[in-house]
Homo-oligomer: A and B are copies of this chain.
Amino acid sequence: MQVVITGGAGFLGQRLARQLLKQGTLPDNNGQIQTITKIVLVDIVAATGFTDPRIHQITGDIADSKLLELAITPETVAIFHLAAIVSGQAETDFELGMRINLEAARLLLERCRQCAHRPRVIFTSSVAVFGGELPPVVQDNTALNPQSSYGAQKAIAELLLNDYSRKGYVDGRVLRLPTISVRPGKPNKAASSFASGIIREPLSGESAICPVGPDVKLWLLSPRKVIACLIHGYTLTAEALGKSRTINLPGVSVTVGEMVAALERVAGAEVANRVEWQHDPAIDRIISSWPGAWDAKRANALGFTSDASFDDIVRAYIEDDLPAA
């Protein structure tokens, strides 16, 4: 069985690849457990540190249909499409966001349609598809009204994947991810980068700037749970999804102030005091347009699970990633 991961050199892509190598199998479209023989990582740069012969790497532009022809073949059974331009960058570089977040998704689906073997395709979407006037808790049937180009591009990719699935060209699933915290590594250009930075940097003895106020509410999920949700989403049957392929993943709703309080509970006051509050209106505008919580009952009924608390998320980071940091 052959698997493709776009954005395969990214933090989630690499972690997903390692998990798939470890478990070694996935069900096929008929529910039969198959051995994974090949995982193709597609990204603009190569991932380093993989020595397993099942890993193949293709580097290049994901919005180039020639590259997609190399990556996706009639043998491809599973596609995890994680490649994206993050929210802050898609807002400042409109053309790049449109090309990677929208055009590449469309070309990937077209490649699948031309291959005519109906692969199972997982897209990741985001809290950023919501915005404008929102109920306190977003529901499965709340209208999308993105207030960022990233959110608009993700919402469009959702619609494309749903229609290509309805037509039978792919068997798609869209997982709307909460903001991921705590991401390991360096800050990135996502507006939500601070949601990891205010935990990660203090735990490494560095100060971190929080660009939004302590009352701003976020909907969060740990990397560990995101990987579990990606694989669980893959294993669901098409019948279980009914007339919508889009699933709001479960998460933990906390204010930024509560996040820092959790850090203090887990790691002490000295660590938590390394967070500096310095308002950034451009980041605040995007973050405040996102929902701080949504109703995850459909996801829960489908068997997805979230972290138990933000304290648990901090502890998971300390366990999984701090030693390497």
Contacts and interface: CB of A to CB of B under 8 A. Distances in A.
Interface of A: 94, 131-133, 135, 140-147, 149, 152-153, 155-156, 159-160, 162-163, 166-167, 242-244
Interface of A, helix, strand, loop or mixed by DSSP: loop
A241 to B, nearest CB: 11
B163 A146 contact: yes
A132 B166 CA distance: 12
Among A135, A141, A144, A242, max chain B CB count under 10 A is at A141
Contacts of A149: 163, 167
A299 to B, nearest CB: 15
A155 B162 CA distance: 12
A145 B243 contact: yes
A132 B147 CA distance: 25
B141 A243 contact: no
B159 A146 contact: yes
Contacts of A163: 146, 149, 152-153
How many copies, total?
Answer: 2
A115 to B, nearest CB: 15
Given A132-B244, A243-B131, A152 B143 contact: no
8 contacts: A94-B167, A142-B143, A146-B159, A146-B162, A146-B163, A149-B167, A152-B159, A156-B159
Contacts of A159: 144, 146, 152, 155-156, 159
B141 A133 contact: yes
A236 to B, nearest CB: 18
A133 B160 CA distance: 19
Contacts of A145: 162, 243-244
Given A94-B167, A159-B152, A144 B147 contact: no
A141 B142 CA distance: 6
A146 B143 CA distance: 12
Contacts of A244: 132, 145
The 5 closest A-B pairs by CB, nearest first: A152-B163, A132-B243, A141-B143, A156-B156, A152-B159
A133 B167 contact: no
Given A132-B242, A135-B141, 8 more contacts: A132-B244, A133-B243, A141-B142, A143-B144, A145-B243, A152-B160, A155-B159, A156-B156
